Every structure is written in structure tokens, then in C-alpha cells.
Amino acid sequence: MKASAFVYPWDVNGDPEAPARIAALGTAQVTLASAYHSTRALTPRHPRHRVVTAGYAAVLYPPGERWSGRTPRPHAAGDWAPGDAFGEAAAALAGAGLQVHTWVVLAHNSRLGAEHPDTSVVNAYGDRYPWAPCIAQPATRAYLTDLAAEAAVRPGARGTELESLGWYGLAHLHAHDKTAGVGLGDAGQYLMSLCFCPACRDGYGARGLDADALAAAVRAALEPVWRGAPSDGAWPGVEKLLGGTAANATRAWRDETARTLQETAVEAVRRAAPPGFQVLLHADPVSYHCGANAGVDPAHILSVADGVVVPCTGGAGLLTPFAREARPDTVLAANFTVVSGMGGSPAALAADVSGARRLGATELRLYHAGLASDGDLEAVRSALAGL
């Protein structure tokens, strides 16, 4: 079973032992970040540093001429990934016999929201989510499409994994995040993730909804939740809170917006890529879900991309809806966290992979080779050797 480990360029550059160490895990591939959001990351084995602070969302290579004079545009990384950090790391990893695929984070960008507030999702209360670009806005869609093509198709890459290619909402691990005081549940999260920027207000209008009335209805629906009333899970809970007609109209608008962006971005990557270049999306099979694993319709997305990367830590059940729609050549990659300190169970990896295989997984993803401890990596090596 083909396995790929997620890696940052700063895990590799400046550490001559890193490529061989990653190859020794037993993976044939690495998924190497080429465009990434702000983060603070440990590098427990690097000879020069132990903590890397990536201060803002950036491309980890020099941005191309296509961005000259454009707004918005991607920013090059600071001293945490200077120059062509991706290219340097990719060459070193390829030299160790590893196939390199790009890892591209798209609609998750706090710097974009800070510099261009009008690009952000706006909730029913008027609060902006600077980490969440609204994917309905034409300029933002053009930016994300071109970023996908450029960051995905880097020299030496054989494929790409596109993360956050869809709606982002309230759920986000922001700096010192303190949003868990009220249990919003699945339905509350959806209502708090509905966008009311001008583009979305027009979109609701095209679906027969008055945007002001809809925002008021969202606020009224959430009022009992703020006071502690339980929020029902899944889509029936949204319909119960907002009413079936309004709920389904908002979902139709958002589903169409995400689907068309996904189609456009994947096509842009294919135009820029050489033959045989693999395009996968990090995905959730429930289309109204927001976040890094974009909510998708399984049948639709598997008609657009070569496959999906599906979160499986804690259970591989999300694979099943994709497996029902898979072709013989579809990639269904089960993504497992293998960092114990981040909720992973590397000691149980072999059993987890067996379960994922039964549900249709064809490949394996390991998050994250740079962050994991030596003990976690040894458990991964042992598990992969037995597969």
C-alpha cells in the first residue's frame, strides 16, 4: 500500500540526515508543503533549530511573474523558508529516492484577511473571519485558482494535494483559540459559517432569499444555542434551526460555489502540469462541512480530481461515501495522524490501516514526519514494514 509522509521544507533544509531518515520510514512518497498557512512547529531533530515560527501564510518558493501588479497576491516566506525552500527540499528528498508531491493550502490565509478585509467571510452578526477567504468573490476565486496552479506544479513534483479548496468557517485553530465555551454542534457551526459578504448576499438573492431577513433568521435560530440549548447534529439540525426552505437554499448556493471553484482550480492545475500529474483534494464527504478538508459531493469530486485524501484518525468511516463512487483508478488516501502529542496513535497504525483498507482505502498518508517524535517514527517504521 503506497504511503506518503507530510513534510515541511524546514524539516529538511539544513538537516542532511532528514531525507534518508524519512525514506527509512518505508514511504515511497512525501507530500511537501509549497504553500502553507501561518504556524508554529517543532523540529525535534533539526541540527540548527527546534521551533519554527511561520508568521503568515506564504508560498515556499519565489512567486512567479503572473502576480506582477495584481491584488491580492501571494507572499514569499520569511526567514523560516527563504528563497526556493520548496525546491531545495524537493531535490534533497528526490535524491533519497522519494517521489515528491506538493501540499498546497488555499482558502486559509489570515494575512490575506488582514491586508484585504473585504475578502473575508462575514457572519450573520457582521463579524469577519480573517483566516477564511470567501470563495464566492470573483477576485478571490481568480487568486485561489492561479495559486493552485503555480504552487501545485513545482519543478520535480509528480502530483499535488490541494487542501482547503472550499469553504472555511468558524472552526479554526486560531492563535490562543478560545471559541469552545458554547457547544455549537454541527448545525450551529454551519450557521456561524454562513457568509454575508456582498457576493454571498447576491448569491442568496439569486436563490430567492432576502439576505437581511436570512441574517436575522440565523441570529434568531442561534439565540437558544447561545443560552445553552443543545444543537442537533447533521443537516436535519440545520433545517430545524433555520427552516427547510432557507437552509436548503443556502446549501445550494454554497455547494455550487465550492463545486465550480474546485472544477476551475483542478483544471488550472492540469493545464499547467505535465501528463500523468496526479491531483488530489483533502476532502470531507459532507458537502456543507467547512475547513481544511473541504466539504464535497463524492460523486462530483471524483469526476473532477484523481482522488481524495480523507481524515481517518479516530475512525475511517468517511472513506465509505467516496468508495461507493470510486473508479478502478481512483485514489482514496486514508490520512492518519502519527504524532502522539496531537492525538495520533502510531502504535495502532497497522490495525488502523487494515480497517481503512476494508473500507476502500488505496493509499496511506502520515501526518507528520517532521513533527513526530523518534518513538512515533519508530512505530510508523514498524507498522509500514508489516503491511
Tell me: the pLDDT tens digits for 37-78?
999 999 999 999 999 999 999 999 999 999 999 999 999 999
- Residue 218 forms part of a structural domain: no
Q: What is the pLDDT of residue 172?
A: 76
Mean pLDDT of 22-27: 97
Mean pLDDT computed over 264-284: 98
Residue 202 lies in a domain: no
Q: Who's near 146: CB < 8 A, 6+ residues apart?
A: 66, 67, 268
Q: Which of the 8 DSSP states describes residue 180?
A: -
Evaluate the CA torsion angle 152, 141, 332, 295 in order and state its sign.
positive
* pLDDT above 70: residue 168: yes
Is 199 within the bounds of a domain? no
Find the domain containing 51 and state its range.
Answer: 2-178+255-385
Q: Closest by alpha carbon to 136, among 122, 149, 125?
A: 122
Q: What does the pLDDT look like over 219-266, one tens digit per residue?
A: 999 999 888 887 777 899 999 999 999 999 999 999 999 999 999 999
Overall average pLDDT of the 307-328 stretch:
98
Residue 101 belongs to some domain of the structure: yes
Average model confidence (pLDDT) across the chain: 96
Overall average pLDDT of the 165-169 stretch: 97
352 with 384: CB under 8 angstroms? no
Which pLDDT score, from 0 to 100, does residue 179 have? 67
Report yes or no: 167 and 294 within 8 Å, Cβ to Cβ. yes
Which of the four pLDDT bands, split at 50, 70 and 90, describes residue 209? very high
Q: What is the CATH number for 10?
A: 3.20.20.80
- In a domain? residue 234: no
How much is the average pLDDT of 288-312?
Answer: 97
How far is it, in rounded angstroms, from Cα 339 to Cα 345?
A: 7
Percentages helix, strand, coil for the chain (3-state, rounded to 5) are 40, 20, 40
Task: Quote the number of domains for the chain.
Answer: 1
| Cα gap 339→334, rounded to integer Å | 15
Look at residues 77, 109, 99 and name the one whose alpha carbon lies nearest to residue 9: 77
Whether 366 is covered by a domain: the verdict is yes
Q: Let me know if residue 201 belongs to a domain.
A: no
Q: Report yes or no on 217 lying in a domain.
A: no
